[in-house]
A and B are shown apart, each in its own frame.
Chain A
């Protein structure tokens, strides 16, 4: 284990992760808060009304950012799951376990905001024949499946391995979600090509707010997942000396 693999196992040490994130979190939270604030204010006040969608285009700034980030959960859980299966690093499973419920939140918000936008622009809240909508709903149920698989299997180690496998298989659906708008063109539009020219249909006055929001939402994903993983560490490592000292020092 010594030598060139040392960094890998140190990276997998819950204590190492906890101490590093204690130092990173204030910065991550600061930049996240700033970007989200700028993104929200820009989207609500400064975004020009779209020539077709009017003020409902303000919804898309949130929708696009959250939807994009929601697609990262299965790949993330699959990578963490592979590390769990191959190297049995505890930390990877702690991340995977807490990613599933957070992913369900992201996916739910994507569906809800999309539906609220669609009720105006498409004149319908839901369309069963649209592949993007249905594959996204499927991702929501897949995530609920991963969460219940974890609680249903009594042995923690077996549960971790089963969830890892389901996460790897679930990545297929991410590909389907991603390309659904190109393969079956029904209601949901493909991504609009961005333009550098002010005044064009998707010029910078529209997409810069979205770009800021995307970075802000990804940082939020990271912060929230780190906070949940740190709790998991405190619970699973509650017999370790450093966790006990931390608890005794807490108020």
Chain B
């Protein structure tokens, strides 16, 4: 089934029997397609979580500055305050 490597040299491999442009452009497009559709969602995830964390900690810090919550950390305050309303 596996009939061995079909090329005798590296230059022959790159030349693809005269169809280097066709073969390599297809594999380049395929590589871009694979990398893009994995890297873009992973990057977006990082941005979403970072933005969410910033929102929560800023709100918590505001409450902390107002001095209403004793020695609780800012994010604990925001979690407690905002979480309380959501849980049924």
Quick check: A205 and B83 within 8 Å, CB to CB?
Answer: no
Quick check: A227 and B38 within 8 Å, CB to CB?
Answer: yes
How far, in angstroms, from A227 to B34 measured CA to CA in the complex? 13
How many residues on the A side are at the interface (Cβ–Cβ under 8 A)? 50
Quick check: A246 and B49 within 8 Å, CB to CB?
Answer: yes
Instruction: For A36, give the chain B residue with the smallest CB separation.
Output: B34
Quick check: A113 and B29 within 8 Å, CB to CB?
Answer: yes
**Chain A residues near B5 (CB, 8 Å)?**
45-46
**Chain B residues near A228 (CB, 8 Å)?**
41
CB distance from A165 to the nearest CB of B (A): 26
How far, in angstroms, from A105 to B52 measured CA to CA in the complex? 29
**Prevailing SS type, chain B contact patch:** helix
A55 interface hit (Cβ, 8 Å): yes
Instruction: For A113, give the chain B residue with the smallest CB separation.
Output: B26
Quick check: B22 and A56 within 8 Å, CB to CB?
Answer: yes
B48 interface hit (Cβ, 8 Å): yes
How many residues on the B side are at the interface (Cβ–Cβ under 8 A)? 42
Quick check: B87 and A248 within 8 Å, CB to CB?
Answer: no
Quick check: A247 and B56 within 8 Å, CB to CB?
Answer: yes
How far, in angstroms, from A120 to B18 measured CA to CA in the complex? 11
**Chain B residues near A220 (CB, 8 Å)?**
34, 37-38
Q: Which of A208, A224, A247 contacts B52 (CB 8 A)?
A: A247
Quick check: A113 and B19 within 8 Å, CB to CB?
Answer: no
B72 interface hit (Cβ, 8 Å): no
How far, in angstroms, from A228 to B48 measured CA to CA in the complex? 12
Quick check: B37 and A234 within 8 Å, CB to CB?
Answer: no
Can you report 30 residue pairs joining A to B where beta carbons are below 8 Å apart?
A: A40-B30, A42-B2, A44-B13, A44-B27, A46-B4, A54-B17, A55-B19, A56-B19, A56-B22, A58-B23, A105-B37, A109-B33, A113-B29, A116-B22, A208-B1, A220-B34, A220-B38, A224-B38, A227-B38, A231-B48, A234-B49, A234-B52, A241-B79, A241-B83, A241-B86, A241-B87, A243-B52, A244-B83, A248-B79, A250-B46
10 cross-chain pairs, A with B, having the tightest CB-CB distances, nearest first? A247-B52, A227-B41, A250-B49, A55-B17, A224-B37, A55-B16, A247-B53, A59-B26, A241-B83, A54-B17
Give chain B's interface residues, CB within 8 Å of chain A: 1-7, 13, 16-19, 22-23, 25-27, 29-30, 33-34, 36-38, 41-42, 44-46, 48-50, 52-53, 56-57, 75, 79, 82-83, 86-87
Give chain A's interface residues, CB within 8 Å of chain B: 36, 40, 42, 44-49, 54-56, 58-59, 62-63, 66, 102, 105, 109, 112-113, 116-117, 119-120, 198, 204-205, 208, 220, 223-224, 227-228, 230-231, 234-235, 238-241, 243-248, 250
